[in-house]
Chains A and B, each alone.
Chain A
Amino acid sequence: MHLSKTVSILSCLALSLALQNTTHGHGFAGNRFFPATLTTDDPFVADEMSLPTISTTVDSDGTRETDLSFAIAKKITPNFGIEIGETFSKFATPGERTVNGQQNLELGAKYQFYINDEHETILSLGLDTEIGGTGRKLIDADRFTTWSPAIFFGKGLGDLPNSLSLLRPLAITGLVGIDIPSSWQSVTISHEEGERSVDIEQHPASLNWGFAIEYSLPYLQSQVKDIGLKKPFNQLIPLVEFSFQDPVNRGESGQVTGTINPGVIWSGKYCQIGAEAIIPINSRSGSEVGMIVQVHFYLDDVLPKAFGHPLFGGQK
């Protein structure tokens, strides 16, 4: 009796210690679970992996770009994490040879500095960098590095009054940042038929902003009103993402590009699967509707030993 009681007490004590520094594994602020969005980076520090993300778009001159991306993120502390990503691209231009290769390596870091569980709110700061010269020259991967500091936000509407209860499953996440190239222009000198030509390509800094509006059917079903949805419909999160790039200098100010991406995310136990259409907002942004599909794994659930906790300062 004494032994079993002692074991029981020690088990409870161990679990208590484990829970003392526990933070949520991924995408939570209070009762709200935020899915990872496909186009605009979400505000959470998490152990997660997107494998793969596949997208296809057609730019303004008719070139079809197909991208296959991979990204993995790891919590270092409960509120600080790092990320690494790589993209393989294929460019098919009518009448020209198709080219493909890897884009520049992308690294990132993010720090969650504010979480309010009651109001389902989160704010974080991030710094991404695309390392110039690591991608394939044939596909015109930039030879210069681009730094992208940004502020990220997430807000669930679960604190709305009961009279607006059907709006409580709504949430918005987004970011505002700026892409700063390490080189403001590229100069290419060529000699054709004895003539020397100089081509100067400008690299403007760009305001990079976007947001996602999502309506969580899991939230509706489990927090507001059980309307009898069964799997997989009670795991769906319809959303619309908006993503914009606005050059701010080098003679390109005001030439905004962007896309509006309606779609849906299915969120399961260990992963989520998302699909969105990519609708260009103007002719500079593309000439056809594209699409993006992503499989995104919750690594803290899938690989609990390797990814179930931050490296420092917490158990989860």
Chain B
Amino acid sequence: MKSALRQLLAIFVVLIAVSGRAHAHAFLDHADPAVGGKVAHTAGQVRIWFSENLEAAFSSIKVLDSAKHEVQQGKAQLDKANRALLAVTIPALPAGTYKVVWRAVSTDTHITNGDFTFTVAP
């Protein structure tokens, strides 16, 4: 049994060696405003830090108010110094609950989606 395990592991190591660089899906690491968080006022942006570097052209953030109207201004942009940080500009928001809907395309084109809410309560 041990020799069988050794053989299988050896095959896997060889496969990795010949396959090239590994990639991974981009998952949300943390956000500002925080996921499910409450803020007195918004800081002018919704920022999301992901676990992987992203492709700017196909990654997006939308911010929706309670009537499902988009309130973000312009397209989401990748941070020049950190390609895992995606941000979108938002205006000063009145009190209420807002939904952030994101789509992340990692540099190897794996797609992940997600959403979360935050509340503005001055």
B55: chain A residues within 8 A (beta carbon): 15
Partner of A304, one of B9, B22, B114: B22
Instruction: List the B residue with the shortest CB-CB distance to A49.
Output: B12
The verdict on B91 contacting chain A, using a C-beta distance below 8 Å, is: no
Interface residues on B, range: 35 or more
Q: In the assembly, what is the distance between CA of A16 and CA of B109, in Å?
A: 10
Q: Which residues of B contact A316 (CB under 8 A)?
A: 109-111
Knowing A19-B105, A303-B22 are in contact, say whether A25-B110 is a contact too (CB < 8 A): yes
Report if A100-B36 is in contact (Cβ < 8 Å); known contacts: A269-B51, A270-B22, A303-B19.
no
Q: Knowing A49-B12, A226-B36 are in contact, say whether A304-B115 is a contact too (CB < 8 A).
A: no
Q: How far is the CB of B45 from chain A (nearest CB, A)?
A: 17
Given known pairs A226-B30, A226-B37, the reply for A303 and B16 (CB within 8 Å) is yes
Residue A167, interface by CB 8 Å: no
Pairwise interchain contact B105-A301, C-beta atoms closer than 8 A: no
Which residues from A are CB-within-8-Å of B12? Answer: 49, 51, 297
Can you list 23 A-B pairs with a CB-CB distance of less than 8 A?
Answer: A18-B109, A19-B109, A24-B112, A25-B110, A31-B113, A51-B8, A68-B5, A162-B117, A165-B36, A221-B35, A222-B27, A225-B35, A269-B24, A303-B15, A303-B19, A304-B20, A304-B21, A304-B22, A304-B108, A306-B15, A306-B19, A315-B109, A316-B109
Considering the chains assembled together, what is the distance between the CA atoms of A198 and B120 in angstroms? 79
Given contacts A90-B1, A303-B22, A22 and B117 within 8 Å (CB-CB): no
Q: Mark B81-110, 1 if CB is under 8 A from A, else 0.
A: 000000000000000000000000100111
A262 in the interface (beta carbon within 8 A)? no
Main secondary structure of the interface of B (DSSP, over half): mixed
**B25, A301: Cβ atoms closer than 8 Å:** yes
What CA separation (Å) do A117 and B103 show in the bound complex?
13
Q: Is the interface of A mostly helix, strand, loop or mixed?
A: mixed
Q: Identify which of B5, B23, B31, B115 gathers the most chain A CB atoms within 10 Å of its CB.
A: B23
Contacting residues of chain A (70-122) with chain B, CB-CB under 8 angstroms: 70, 88, 90, 100, 102, 117
- Which B residues are in CB contact (< 8 Å) with A162? 117
Is the C-beta of B57 less than 8 angstroms from some C-beta in chain A?
A: yes
Q: Is A133 an interface residue (CB 8 A)?
A: no
Taking CB atoms, residues of chain B closer than 8 Å to A269 are: 24, 51
A18-B109, A31-B114 given; 20 more Cβ-contact pairs under 8 Å: A15-B55, A19-B58, A19-B111, A25-B25, A51-B9, A51-B12, A52-B5, A68-B1, A102-B4, A117-B113, A221-B35, A222-B114, A223-B114, A301-B22, A303-B16, A303-B19, A304-B21, A304-B108, A306-B19, A308-B23
